[in-house]
Structure 1
């Protein structure tokens, strides 16, 4: 079985992501628009609890309805803004996903045409297909939509913390104290999730390879009557993929569950402490409602970021595979002076090509791709 050298590494490789980022930045205009729409969505999300606070304190407690028409108009504009910005980030994320997937596959396929025959002699076709299809698709999907969630979540957390501290810092401290605990939990789970996703991607590549080789070698399989042997090998790989995927999903679910428990501990503490401040007339009922909304809303972005981190752990494995294919070097390359005179595979200088007579003689030639399998000998 072909061994993937990336499967034995468990650290995040920054060089891999530099290559991916350079590909993403080829869609710079769409990237800027995506960030803009996501940021504006975070701003509108942050405005909703403020609207609710104003309505409770002014209309329900104060009994002053003089600004009611303006409040209705503001909510209509808010809803319109939500519709516009949601459409915008979905549209731009879809474009980035398609263009990133295309560029990854284009560069990988272009490099495949440069590689020596020895690469294809020792690399199963299914492994190459897994990188060109599932790895490229998964990576572009996670990057495009993960970027949306990351921008929205990060800016939402900043807006919420700023409003909370400007309004009443004592309740804001309750929310802030929980964040370091979440960071410790995230640090612990990061390596575990990355390791399990790498195993899952490895077995997925093996399974894809067996699919491809099973179809291409169907005649040989039937001729040699090795169906049972192939089925046993396929079943073993499928079961390994199943177990690895389940372990990865369980770790991600456990990670999210722990964060959710911490989030609602903060929410309940805010409700209890805030109620006491309301009874002491330190803050208004509308302010308490705003704090509760913001506390719940604050941990939604935290959960989103935890999900993004989990997804990017998975994407790390896919990124290493597809970038590894793109950056694989050919064993046999032309000299620099030869390329300058005659050109390359993609840019040729036909005007410098000499006429060929087509008379080739093999004399004392020994040649092989694989050292154990000689093709020509003397």
Structure 2
């Protein structure tokens, strides 16, 4: 039985060209990039070249990129590093209720250290109000951290408009762009952000590597202590092979964005058209237009989502009910709760399909058909039981 993977928002398979690019740095050029001998210098050159490649794809200078162990560390570095460095200017931070837990838990940690955090609500599409941001701003606000595109429902936030609101204010602007990177264009020279987090394993790169873009002049307090790597901003021996793989994955992803956007839109249409034809009762969660193209979050009324996921898995289809970082949690999605409220039935029947490398039209058609049949079967069972 062919396995169909439609959980690319959780993690993505390594692109074959990424594996090929990484192998030499495991086998022959394995030196410590801080060493002065030839193998060490070759490793350092590989990092420098990878940093330049990624910087070019992001529209910035290589000096503005700090490699981290992933998106979580990049978010923590931005939030904790900035807040602790600038707390004499104020201790107020603004974020939203639908952020990734790497952001929410970092903010909660700062609250324990005496900071005041405002958690902005979102509307039913998952969008933050620009007016709410403006009204939440205070003289002592030092940081606004809002995700670019949501990892569960795909809604894209009004980043440019929020940046306009922050012009002339002391607050720095950080965005978690982990889910957006590689599926929509990110040019930091045109974005009104001071810091931006991304992660390689969402774009067919290796796990364990990410980065934080830091605009010129933005000062951060280190959150790791040790050596003087990354211009003294992030201690620890660099993961050379992963950095090389990250650069290759970034190159491939950015160069194929338009082609993949069209394909993912076709995939979404197949799902929606099939379920409509099969007379399945469903609702799409998230903004219908301002959204990431590779994620479809949908609620099937009256269907137990765990049963649906298990039945899909038995047919060889791997999907999810939300963020992989909260897998196994008995709590409902904090994103959907923020959008709909705790009592809404959509929260208990929401499933996420996310597309990526290896998916085909034939696969997505099978996903659509299998889902429709399972939903109708489970729906009939629940009606019979009730």
Give the TM-score taking structure 1 as reference length: 0.22
Q: Which structure has the larger Rg over C-alpha atoms?
A: 1
Which structure shows the bigger proportion of residues in strand conformation? Answer: 2
Which structure shows the bigger proportion of residues in helix conformation? Answer: 1
